Amino acid sequence: MDARLENQLKFIQEIDQLKSVDRVSLLINSSRRENTAEHSWHFALMVSILAEHADTDSLDIPKTIYMALVHDIVEIDAGDTYCYDEQGYEDKSEREVAAAKRIFGILPDDQGQEIWRLWEEFEEGRTEEAKFARAIDRLNPFMLNFYSGGKTWVDNKIKKSQVLKRVGEIEHNTPKLWGLCYIFDRRCY
The tens-digit pLDDT sequence of the chain (189 residues) is 899 999 999 999 999 999 999 999 999 888 899 999 999 999 999 999 999 999 888 999 999 999 999 999 999 999 999 888 888 889 999 999 999 999 999 999 999 999 999 999 999 999 999 999 999 999 999 888 888 888 888 898 988 888 888 888 888 888 888 877 766 555 444
Whole-number pLDDT of residue 52: 93
* 177-180 contacts at long range (C-beta below 8 A, 24 or more positions apart): 177/50, 177/53, 177/135, 177/139, 180/139, 180/143
Q: Please state the CATH superfamily assignment of the domain spanning residues 3-188 in this structure.
A: Hypothetical protein af1432 (1.10.3210.10)
What is the C-alpha separation between 62 and 60, in angstroms, rounded? Answer: 6
